[in-house]
Amino acid sequence: MIDVFNACTNNESQMLPAHFRRFLIEFQGEEEEDVITVDHAKVIMEQALDQLRPNFTICCFSVDDFFNYLFLDDFNGPINTEVHQDMTAPLQHYFIYTGHNSYLKGNQLIGDCSEKPIIKALRKGVRVIELDLWPTSSDEGIHVLHGRTMTTPVALEKCLKSIKEHAFVKSPYPVIITLEDHLTPDRQAKVAEMVTEIFGDMLYCPEADHNEFPSPEALKHRVLLSTKPPKEQINGNQDNLSQFLQIDFEDENEDAASENPGQKTPPGYREVIGIHATKPDKKLRKALTVGSGKPIRLSLSEQTLERATSLYRTDLIRFTQKNILRVYPKGTRITSTNFKPLRAWMHGVQMVAFNMQGYGKSLWMMHGMFRSNGKCGYVKKPDFLMSRGPNDDVFDPKPKVTLDVKTTLKVTVYMGDGWRKDFSQTHFDKYSPPDFYTKLHMVGVPADVRKEKTGVIIDNWIPIWNQEFTFPLTVPELALLKIVVREHDAGKDDFAGQTCLPVSELRAGFRAVRLRNRKGKKFESVKLLMRFSLD
């Protein structure tokens, strides 16, 4: 770092705003020289000095100030923190931060259902909340719970009021409530009355003749319901009939109450459904056929998605160019674990529904993806997933298809610090300082997957590695850089921090990378100093 300081200051002992501007342009990749003026550089320095030396009198960095600035992730973080993508395309053009059984506090079989996990998810930026609706023993009551399990219920009204209060704390873009509806028509009418009263003008009710989903921009501060519409007598062509398929692949016995053709459609319930949903019958390819009717949301289990990606890859891509596809965890994940999301994203799946209450490598990837685009919960899908060629051909994610390298990411891991503040002196080793190393995992399409590892720095709370790694990428738009620090031990190595960063959002130059615990919460002090460049 001293070499960089000297290069910018011409070996002077202090870095002035003009020198700092040179650093921002030449080393940090700030290309808009007309925006990065000396005055702009001075403002950044003054804001940093307010933290580093609150009583400063002259706007200048010493070598120590400069080094400490590099570790201020609020100023020098690794990714873009602003919403910067086009938000005016229809909803199906975006990956959407999606929760599964959002009301569960623990596993899928026992424990409490509560509004608290919903609030927590919304405050993290989750944009799709799932509620399972069941009638109570009283005449008009409606509970939210995981059906046919020992989970204790929570009242629907409490969940809806919590959604209204916390929906837009983290992001202004729309919240979608997906309903697993196990209600009779009279209770459905009660739901319509309840959501209309609670959400008021926030509730989005689509025009009857809409042929395309609205955009996130058009739906700012709006709430949408998504569920299967009640059956009714339908006149029209077979394309329009497809959106009312009622067979539930997730559980064929669910929704029995709402499938009785002799029952009358409740007034108002169909009108409050913003996104009509369906689940496929046993002819999966038929369900993935794109008709000329209104766009829909289709739900598949992770096993069904795996079969679809093996047999109908390009059908999936075409389907998601017009419609929304939701994929949920298989029923055997009773401890609320998750599946790897990359397969789904590679095939254009917008809603990869995750259990948010636990932790694990798959959830780290989900966190990483939705750090993109200012953490607003909507990430624009790559153009190649939404475009068609001259022969109506679409992107084929088949692993054996050879793709050219589009870009090369170079990552330098310089050093780390902060463990001595966030951990006890004996947390890692009882009698000596820790032995840290860093693992880099490139996650993405199969051709881009790769692992690298630094050496182990023995007995040092402030490890210095100074190691560079190169990652050639064929699909950088879907690549995630997973960073894990461990402490080497004679037995199982100890966890010392992790984070996951979207490659497409990385800022060039020297960056402070704040690490997180297993559940994704930021450590107070633990950071890595790294450098990124994309060629």
How far apart (Å, rounded) are the C-alpha atoms in residues 512 and 78? 6
How far apart (Å, rounded) are the C-alpha atoms in residues 190 and 343? 39
Residue type, position 100, single letter: H
How far apart (Å, rounded) are the C-alpha atoms in residues 490 and 431? 14
The torsion angles phi and psi of 67, rounded to 5 degrees, stand at -60, -45
- What CA–CA distances, in Å, run from 353 to 33, 92, 240? 42, 15, 27
**Cα–Cα nearest to 442, from 474, 402, 483:** 483
Return the SS3 of 233.
coil
Tell me the DSSP string of 258-276.
GG-TTSPPPTTTGGGEEEE
Q: What b/e readout covers 314-348, taking b as 16+ CB neighbours within 10 angstroms?
A: ebbbbbbbbbbbbbbbeeebeebbbbebbbbbbbb
**Cα–Cα nearest to 345, from 381, 378, 372, 375:** 381
Pull the structure tokens for residue 316: 């999936």
How far apart (Å, rounded) are the C-alpha atoms in residues 333 and 98? 17
Which runs of E-coded beta strand occur in 319-366?
A: 324-328, 351-354
How far apart (Å, rounded) are the C-alpha atoms in residues 306 and 349? 12
Handedness of CA 405, 408, 409, 410 (dihedral sign): positive
Concerning whether 146 is annotated as a catalytic residue, the answer is yes
How far apart (Å, rounded) are the C-alpha atoms in residues 517 and 360? 11
Annotated catalytic residue within 146, 182, 276, 441: 146
Annotated catalytic residue within 100, 182, 347, 441: 100
Concerning whether 100 is annotated as a catalytic residue, the answer is yes
**Cα–Cα nearest to 81, from 505, 511, 518:** 505
| Spatial contact of 128 and 121, defined as CB atoms under 8 Å apart | no
How far apart (Å, rounded) are the C-alpha atoms in residues 193 and 199? 10
Longest dimension (CA), the chain: 86
How far apart (Å, rounded) are the C-alpha atoms in residues 505 and 480? 10
Residues belonging to the active site = 100, 146
